Amino acid sequence: MDFLCECSDPACQELVSITLGECDFVRRVPDRLVVKVGHADYESERVLMEEPGRFQVVERFGSSDDVIAHIAPWRSRRAPRRSGRAA
């Protein structure tokens, strides 16, 4: 699947190819973003993992709402987190 790079550059229109399984894994933690290799901003985020030549998973030091707002404006207001159900 191709996704728009979630880097902090609002002008970035590059695509990142990841599998559905990789996407599900990354999205288990809402504040993690998928960026093109080399697009991480080391002043405001840390790289948690990298698939060499494909993508990096980053976590912002602060809120990622500014990045979310320019990628998907409808997601910029997050719903409250739900507590997990007992198994």
Q: One-letter amino acid identity for 32?
A: R
Domain locations in the chain as residue ranges: 2-75
**Helical H segments across the chain, by residue range:** 20-26, 65-71
pLDDT (tens digit, 9 = 90+) per residue, 47-82? 999 999 999 999 987 655 554 544 444 444 444 444
Distance, in Å, from the CA atom of 29 to the CA atom of 64, rounded to the nearest integer, reads 12
Q: How many helices (H) and strands (E) does the chain have?
A: 2, 5
Q: pTM (2 decimals)?
A: 0.68
Predicted confidence band of residue 84 (pLDDT cuts 50, 70, 90):
very low
Q: Which residue has the higher pLDDT, 70 or 43?
A: 43
Q: One-letter amino acid identity for 43?
A: E
Radius of gyration over every alpha carbon of the chain, rounded to an integer in angstroms = 13
Q: One-letter amino acid identity for 12?
A: C
pLDDT at position 87, please?
A: 40
Average pLDDT over residues 10-39: 91
